[in-house]
Amino acid sequence: MPDAATAGNGASAGPAGPSAPVTATAAGALTVRGLRKSFGDVVAVDGLDLDLRAGEVLALLGPNGAGKTTTVEICEGFIAPDSGTVQVLGLNPVADSDAVRSRIGVMLQGGGAYPGARAGEMLNLCAAYSADPLDPAWLMSELGLNSVARTPYRRLSGGQQQRLSLACALVGRPELVFLDEPTAGMDAHARLLVWELISRLRGDGVAVLLTTHLMDEAEALADQVVIVDRGRRVASGTPGELTRRGAERELRFTAPTGLPIAELNTVLPPDYSCAESDPGRYLVTGDISPRVLAQVTAWCADLDVLATDLQVASRSLEDVFLDLTGREMRE
């Protein structure tokens, strides 16, 4: 298998020849300041700031309608902002659209391929637009698409369409890649293939802006996470920073639903409390000491239930996301 540099813009040679060096480091791959965009009375993006450097993966998270897609489409140059500034590889994505698009890769969740085109033909066509493309055959092999190379796009499974869309985004050796829900519809094996490829892109100095609804994907891949809601940034940091923030006085555990937590509250010291934050998920707040941890597990043992997934001073990224954006379903 060719080395990782063939998947991005490192200086190493691969099956498609030497790749161009990354030039995004000095100015940053993506800089967004005070971005605003409205559609009629609906404010889609409201004063958003973003920073993404070469060799970094940024996960942009938010509920439906939070402004993620609009933000990404502005950065890609498909939509002009109402106000604010956007620099992609040091260029204006609208005014310098031709120069920008020759240096970025865009993976659309809808695929963006011709329905009747065969998978291999579609990737070869995308490669033909690039001055120094990756070897399409190698990329097809890397993403497990060899067996469907002659299959029309419309007959591919959802996961296969996603992998082909990713291949089309990468074949031109981009310096910055926009990935919209890159593993949607994929099985576990295909997801791991894509995760590995994204990690190799980072290693080659490629900047990646990732949108996903999969919190484990963001935790596994992202160097930094930005959570947006109603067009505004509500939190940002590394996955570790976000999951530790505000959790210093928390103990979380999983157990059967409907435990009599009022009884546990009588066992705990007066300044502690326990609540069932979600069915089967419990939260104890207070200064979590070894004694308190022992009291909680002993109480569960008295009820003949097993407390699992105990976490002290830590939350999952999903917990952080739901606490910041609300737990109600949005249309």
Whichever domain contains 213, its CATH number is 3.40.50.300
Which of helix, strand or coil describes residue 85?
strand
CB 226 within 8 A of CB 58: yes
Do 50 and 176 fall within a single domain?
Answer: yes
| E-state strands within the chain | 13-14, 17-18, 30-39, 42-52, 57-61, 83-88, 104-107, 176-180, 207-211, 224-229, 232-237, 250-254, 273-278, 281-285, 308-312
**What is the dihedral angle through the alpha carbons of 311, 316, 321, 323, rounded to the nearest 10 degrees?**
-10
Q: What is the pLDDT of residue 280?
A: 95
**Is residue 323 a part of any domain in this protein?**
no
Rounded distance, CA 203 to CA 57, Å? 10
Do 69 and 176 fall within a single domain?
Answer: yes
Do 236 and 259 fall within a single domain?
Answer: no
Tokens of residue 73, six digits:
């489409």
Tokens of residue 329, six digits:
């379903």
CB 192 within 8 A of CB 170: no
Do 262 and 147 fall within a single domain?
Answer: no
Residue type, 32: V
Do 77 and 151 fall within a single domain?
Answer: yes
Q: Give the pLDDT of the chain (331 residues) as one tens digit per residue.
A: 334 344 443 333 333 333 333 444 445 899 999 999 999 999 999 999 999 999 999 999 999 999 999 999 999 999 999 999 999 999 999 999 999 999 999 997 666 677 889 999 999 999 999 989 999 999 999 999 999 999 999 999 988 999 999 999 999 999 999 998 899 888 999 999 999 999 999 999 999 999 999 999 999 999 999 999 999 999 999 998 898 776 667 899 999 999 999 999 999 998 899 999 889 999 999 988 899 999 999 999 999 999 999 988 767 888 889 888 885 545 4
Q: What is the pLDDT of residue 194?
A: 92
* Beta-bridge partner residues of 177: 105, 208
Please say whether the dihedral angle defined by the alpha carbons of residues 43, 49, 52 and 58, taken in this order, is positive or negative. negative
Rounded distance, CA 312 to CA 314, Å? 5
Q: What is the pLDDT of residue 160?
A: 92
pLDDT digits (tens, 9 = 90+) for 149-201: 999 999 999 889 999 999 999 999 999 999 988 998 889 999 999 999 999 99
Tokens of residue 142, six digits:
């890397």
DSSP assignment string, 265-311: HHHS-TT-EEEEEETTEEEEES---HHHHHHHHHHHHHTT---EEEE
Do 151 and 177 fall within a single domain?
Answer: yes
215, 242, 269 - which closes a domain: 242
Torsion-angle region of residue 87: left (phi > 0), alpha (psi -120 to 50) or beta?
Answer: beta
Do 195 and 232 fall within a single domain?
Answer: yes
Do 103 and 123 fall within a single domain?
Answer: yes
Which of helix, strand or coil describes residue 132?
coil
Residue type, 189: H
Which of helix, strand or coil describes residue 177?
strand
**Is residue 43 a part of any domain in this protein?**
yes
Do 107 and 229 fall within a single domain?
Answer: yes
Which of helix, strand or coil describes residue 171?
coil
Domain containing residue 299: 247-314
Determine which helix (DSSP H) or strand (DSSP E) holds 76, and give its type and residue range. Answer: none
Q: What is the pLDDT of residue 115?
A: 83
**Nearest CA-CA partner of 197 in 241, 248, 243, 144:** 144
